[in-house]
Amino acid sequence: MSNEHQTAGGISRRAVLLAGSAAAVGVGGVGGVGGGVGVFGGRGALAGQEVQGVKAEPTAGDQHRGVCVVSSLNGLRATVKAMEMLGKGADPCEAVVEGVKIMEDDPEDDTVGFGGEPNEDGVVELDASVMHGPTHKSGAVAALRNIKNPAAVALKVLRRTDHCLIVGEGALRFAKAHGFVEENILSEKARRAWLDWKENHSKQDDWLGDDEIDRWKSDPKEAKRIGEGWTREELKFHYGTVHCAAVDKDKDIGSVTSTSGLSWKIPGRVGDSPIIGAGNYCDNEVGAAGATGRGEATTVNCAAFAIVKEMENGLTPTEACLKVAKRIIDRTKEKRNLDAKGRPNFNVALYALRKDGAFGSACLYKGGKFSVNDGTGARAVDCAWVMER
């Protein structure tokens, strides 16, 4: 995100968190791009207290029942494709994998697949996981190079092996053995962004930044060679992920998370997306959950598993996402990850889809949105949120 690819779409709601002896605190909004429901009223409201329960007024998502597809905001097109396939009787896992393939194939989408931003060496490394509710089986790949559809490879791992995760060179060899074509997946846009970062992120190297180059008469606009749409602010690290989950008419569930990961990352870095229980989890008896944003934060908090567990314990999808979002906030302790107010200096978006078709989402910070298709069309919906910036 960069990675804050979440959604929200005009669901008006108020969320109330009960802590300790059920004392109500902060009312707020849902994160994304405007709108939403806030809970906790900022980091200090429940600092040091263990949240005993979360209650929120019913939302349109929490009240929905039936076939449904939920995705991060950048997966709006994925929800359309997945819903179309569910209508034709496709397995929910196949539906969501085909859905996110649209993003993976799009060179203009810098969050996943072809178009995803590379590691610090200029090499795109992709991660993805798929989980199949009816069999409670998963498949994933990590640090996969030269294959632009990691979700489809992850589905092959699920269906054709007894393994859960294959990484690096082994993942590439496995993909090629199953007919996936090895190709250059560094888009021109991503290459320019990487080169711009490499040249300008430090003066303590031999790469010359824009302000270090002698201008030539033949090229007076050299400083603007980066290309359309790029600004200096975009040189910082970005996260990029798409999550998608679906429940069909038989109440079977499938989920997928696909990513190019943190831009300019250390080669071999693996985030939460291919880790079952972190960036993706599915239990056919309960529901599915996923995450986008700072993968290290969702990994150490087992975010996707925790959301599903909270739903199993009786929370609505929105409440479950809010509770886990609060947990991430409370357990972010390293100073380098905190802002001047002692709050996380990053964002995370969490998504949940229950077996009966209820759905919800929450971000750490207000302004996020996510995508949903409940049979009445694909749309962006406001995420619930914990804090305002």
Local confidence pLDDT in tens for the 389 residues of the chain: 334 333 333 322 223 232 222 222 222 222 232 344 554 433 333 333 333 345 556 688 999 999 999 999 999 999 999 999 999 999 999 999 999 999 999 998 888 999 899 999 999 999 999 999 999 999 999 999 999 999 999 999 999 999 999 999 999 999 999 999 999 999 999 998 888 888 887 665 555 555 555 555 555 444 444 444 434 344 455 567 999 999 999 999 999 999 999 889 999 999 999 999 999 999 999 999 999 999 999 999 999 999 999 999 999 999 999 999 999 999 999 999 999 999 999 999 999 999 999 999 999 999 999 999 999 999 999 999 999 98
In a domain, 10, yes or no: no
Angle between helices 303-312 and 317-330 (to 10 degrees): 140
CATH number of the CATH domain containing 97: 3.60.20.30
First to last CA, the chain: 17
Q: Domain for residue 77, yes or no?
A: yes
Residue at 203 is within a domain: no
Rounded to whole angstroms, the Cα distance separating 364 from 353 reads 19
Residue 241 falls in the annotated catalytic set: yes
Residue 43: both structure tokens together:
């980091």
> Domain for residue 164, yes or no?
yes
Q: Count the domains in the chain.
A: 1
On whether residue 264 sits in a domain, the answer given is yes
pLDDT at residue 203, rounded to an integer: 61
**What is the chain's percent helix, strand, coil content, to nearest 5?**
30, 25, 45
What pLDDT was estimated at residue 17? 31
Give the pLDDT score at 196: 87
Does residue 86 belong to any structural domain of this protein?
yes
Query: pLDDT value at position 153?
Result: 98
Cα–Cα distance for residue pair 22/5, rounded to 1 Å: 33
Residue 27, classed as helix, strand or coil, is: strand
Of 286, 314, 304, 315, nearest to 348 (Cα)?
Answer: 304
Task: Please state the pTM of the whole predicted model.
Answer: 0.81
Q: 89 is in which domain, residue-wise?
A: 15-186+238-387
* H-state helical runs in the chain: 60-63, 76-87, 92-104, 150-160, 168-177, 188-200, 295-300, 303-312, 317-330
Residue 365 maps to a domain: yes
CA–CA dist 95, 267 (Å, integer): 31
Catalytic residue selected from 241, 259, 298, 332? 241
